[in-house]
Chain A
Amino acid sequence: MKKDKKMTLTLPAEELMACGHLACQGCGAALAMRYMLKALGQKTVLCIPACCWAVIDGPYPYSSLDVPIYHCAFETAASTATGVKAGLEMTGDAETTVVAWAGDGGTFDIGLQALSGAAERNDDIIYVCYDNEAYMNTGIQRSSATPYGAWTTTTPVKHFKTQPKKDIVAILAAHRVPYIATASVSHPEDFFKKMKKAKDIKGTRFFHVYAPCPTGWKSRPEDTVKLARMAVQNAYFPLLEIEDGEKYTLNLKLKDKKPVNDYVRIQGRFRHLTDEQIGSIQAEVDARWERLLKLSV
């Protein structure tokens, strides 16, 4: 006889993010923030550059978060966070976790130099890139995190993005920072666990968090978690950890790796793609997965 499964809440019930924020329906980035704060707790300071979250927390004089926020310039999430950490330490607060919380544009593009600088110095910050794969806050323009094939307002259907997404995790691994993790809003417990682990590590810790965006992906708000889960299960966005730039751990081995087709087909931004073009996405995903399998041995 099957026993009744007991449901246990593994994430803390305490909420540091209040309702009344300004995210769109089904926003992956809003979930990501909520889960991160559950892991880091109240002794946290956020540096948020221009990105969706520059608006989501609420306009002056409001904030939907119970942790302090410094709204910084677009390209300065990492450098501002470095300064905040130094400033807190010099005024007697060595405990507080300082987080740079940026979108993909602020990380992959305009903020990459400052991020590289902080990573090379191994500054004691957690840098989180919530990736919705385009400049969503300004109205869905392509970034270097936009994947091959996607429509955006600057890569129209007739001229969709033909370059693959920049491999930001590999760039950070090349800096040999102590800890890198990918996470997805579909796997909050995994995200929570990694964030808890990162909190106790010294130096630059980098999170690449997959955050679907119904507005920009032309997907249904109720499909956000589903899409994020599909991306994990088809290895489009594998869950992994890298320690010291060398030690790769794949958190989900994916014995039954799903094809990307279903994932691509339920997003309006890929609607124009032919089967052949989706085939090339599949080939790229497979190649990267094989590479990761070798690296994680």
Chain B
Amino acid sequence: MKKVMMGNHALSYGAMLSRSQVIAAYPITPQTQVVELLSEMCADGTLDARFIKVESEHSAMAACIGASVAGARTFTATSAQGLALMHEMLHWASGGRHPVVMGNINRSMAPGWSIWTDQNDSLSERDTGWMQYYCASNQEVLDTVIQAFKVSEALMIPGMVVLDAFALSHTYEVVDVPDQAAVDKYLPPFKPEIRLTPNDPRAFGGLTGAEHYMELRYKLQKDMEKAPALIEETGREFEKMFGRNLGLVDAYKCDDAEFVFVTSGTAGFTARVAVDELRRSGVKAGNLRIKVFRPFPFAKVREILKKVKKAAVVDRNCSYGAHGIFFQEVKSALYGEPGTPPVFGYIAGLGGRDITTDSFKEVAAHALAKDRADEEIVWIGVKK
């Protein structure tokens, strides 16, 4: 069934079709419609779930963790300050191996107060042990929630489905809502091997000495390393059932490309338009949109970029004192590989400033004119 819906509601529908059993959330702009629709769904019985209206995002994640360890499928959604408040509990969810799935609407961190998009909120949670999927359309948002539950529950690692504030959260698009019976087939009920129950009394997360802790984290990394293959496999399975592939990256006209943009989120769709325009003017351009940021698809990025002459990473974020965060990951993917292209790093669109096709053309003009990538950051559209 096709429906016109906003990105936020695509998250709600994803959570509903996944048959989330416990939802705990706290409102924050621009996430509010996610939880508004879910609370309606819980109230009218469309979704058989318990909605815990907590008093903070910190408690939201704590409640999700509690519900998850008790054996329930759990979902929440937040943004920016809310995600930052959850920070401690994000480590708890991954360290405790609780496959909570969360929607995060990318919103710039205050101060000054901003409700508009950039990625510094979610990328600040890079090292918390969560999988992160950056979406570019409402369809992708809905589909990815379902896939994220499947992957997270297989690996017992939580997953974050990320979308841009307003550019996606409040933008209406046509979304094909999959059939519930088909989703049930794709995503069977959550049945964890071990859970918190008096029938099998265990202590979870007690004091862990130096003789055990490292192995627990080693296992987390080893399972995270299984994620790229599992995301591709579950993505193909999804395509077989629903006709849409969900991979690690979305490579647009990269096969014969000489110059490739590396993008994420909605900017990745804008880049496609720029690629088409560049191609019309004779530049063999392509766009590599990175969908999965954690685990980082190193092999895939290497495979695509080693064939091109130049790559330009456009980051909607900044690691202050270093440079764009996708930029450093891309360079790290290519390091030591013979014959890799120069990689140029750009920062654009912070605090919700638009990244337009003109922004990409400016990036292309800059990169194509240079032989070496000798600047750490080139700022696009900034008033200096």
Alpha-carbon distance between A113 and B62 when the two chains are bound, in angstroms: 13
Known: A43-B198, A90-B22. A82 touches B58 (CB 8 A): no
B355 shortest CB reach to chain A, Å: 37
B149: min CB distance to chain A, Å = 15
Q: Mark A78-101, 1 if CB is under 8 A from B, else 0.
A: 111111111111110100100000
User: Is A69 in contact with B206, judged by CB distance below 8 angstroms?
Assistant: yes
A88 contacts across to B, CB distance below 8 A: 70-71, 196-197
Nearest CB on A from B274, distance (A): 45
Q: Which residues of B contact A96 (CB under 8 A)?
A: 197-198
State how many angstroms separate the Cβ of B49 from the closest Cβ of chain A: 7
- Residues of chain B contacted by A55 (CB below 8 angstroms): 207
Across the interface, which residues of A come within 8 angstroms of B207, CB to CB?
54-55, 58-60
State the CA gap A191–B22 with chains docked (Å).
Answer: 33
Residues of A within 8 A of B69 (CB): 70, 84, 87
B346 → A minimal CB distance (Å) = 38
Q: Which of B48-78 contact A (CB under 8 A)?
A: 49-50, 52-56, 58-60, 62-72, 74
List of B residues within 8 angstroms of A62 by Cβ: 203, 206
Query: What's the nearest-Cβ distance from chain A to residue B196, in Å?
Result: 5
Q: Does B339 contact A (CB under 8 A)?
A: no
Cross-chain contact of B72 among A61, A68, A78, A87 (Cβ < 8 A): A87
Q: Does A281 contact B (CB under 8 A)?
A: no
- B62 touching A79, Cβ below 8 Å: yes
Q: In the complex the two chains form, is B212's CB within 8 Å of A45's CB?
A: no
How many residue pairs at the A-B interface have CB separations less than 8 Å?
A: 175
A23 CB, nearest partner CB in chain B, Å: 13
B24 within 8 Å of A (CB atoms): yes
Q: What distance in Å separates the Cβ of B344 from its nearest Cβ neighbour in chain A?
A: 42
The answer to whether A83 and B64 touch (CB under 8 A), given A57-B203, A69-B203, A71-B203, is: yes
List residues 37-56 of chain A with CB under 8 A from any CB of chain B: 42-45, 47, 54-55
Is there a chain A Cβ closer than 8 Å to B89's Cβ? yes
User: What B residues does A31 contact at CB under 8 A?
Assistant: none
Check A68 against B206 for contact (C-beta < 8 Å). Answer: no
Contact B198 A75 (CB under 8 A): no
The interface on chain A, measured as residues whose beta carbon lies within 8 A of the other chain's beta carbons, has a size of 48
Q: Which A-chain residue is minimally distant from B64 (CB atoms)?
A: A83
B62 contacts A68, C-beta separation under 8 Å: no
A80, B201: Cα distance in complex, Å:
17
Find out whether the CB atom of A68 lies under 8 angstroms from the CB atom of B64: no
In the complex, which of the residues A70, A82, A85 contacts B204, with contact meaning CB atoms closer than 8 Å?
A70
B86 to chain A, nearest CB (A): 11
Given A60-B212, A87-B72, A90-B49, also A71-B198 (CB < 8 A): no
A136 at the interface (CB under 8 A from B): no
B189 → A minimal CB distance (Å):
9
A63, A76, A86, A117: most-surrounded residue (chain B CB, <10 A): A86
Q: A36 at interface (Cβ–Cβ under 8 A)?
A: no
Which residue of A76, A86, A89 is within 8 Å of B58 (Cβ)? Answer: A76
* Given A63-B206, A76-B62, A116-B55, A83 contacting B22 (CB threshold 8 A): yes
Neighbouring B residues of A24 by C-beta, 8 Å: none
The 8 Å CB contact of A63, one of B21, B71, B203, B212, is B203
B67 contacts A87, CB within 8 Å? yes
B321 interface residue (CB < 8 Å to A): no
Once bound together, how far apart are the Cα atoms of A59 and B211, in whole Å?
Answer: 11
Counting CB contacts under 8 A, is A166 at the interface? no
Say yes or no for B88: interface residue by CB 8 A criterion. Answer: yes
Contact B92 A47 (CB under 8 A): no
- Whether a CB of chain B sits under 8 angstroms from the CB of A114 is yes
Q: How far is the CB of A16 from chain B (nearest CB, A)?
A: 9
Q: Which residues of A contact B374 (CB under 8 A)?
A: none
Is B281 part of the contact surface with A, judged by Cβ < 8 Å?
no
If the complex has contacts A66-B201, A84-B196, are A117 and B55 also in contact, measured as CB distance less than 8 A? Answer: yes
Query: How far is A85 from B67 in the complex, measured between Cα atoms in Å?
Result: 7
Task: Point out which of B59, B60, B68 has the most chain A C-beta atoms below 10 A from its C-beta.
Answer: B59
**Neighbouring A residues of B22 by C-beta, 8 Å:** 83, 86-87, 90
Docked complex Cα distance between A90 and B69 (Å): 12
- Any B CB within 8 A of the CB of A140: no
A to B CB contacts below 8 Å, 14 in the list: A59-B206, A61-B203, A61-B206, A68-B198, A68-B200, A72-B66, A72-B205, A79-B24, A79-B59, A79-B63, A82-B24, A85-B70, A86-B63, A121-B52
Known interface pairs A63-B201, A121-B52; 5 further A-B residue pairs with C-beta atoms within 8 A, sorted by A's residue number: A60-B212, A63-B206, A69-B206, A87-B196, A113-B55
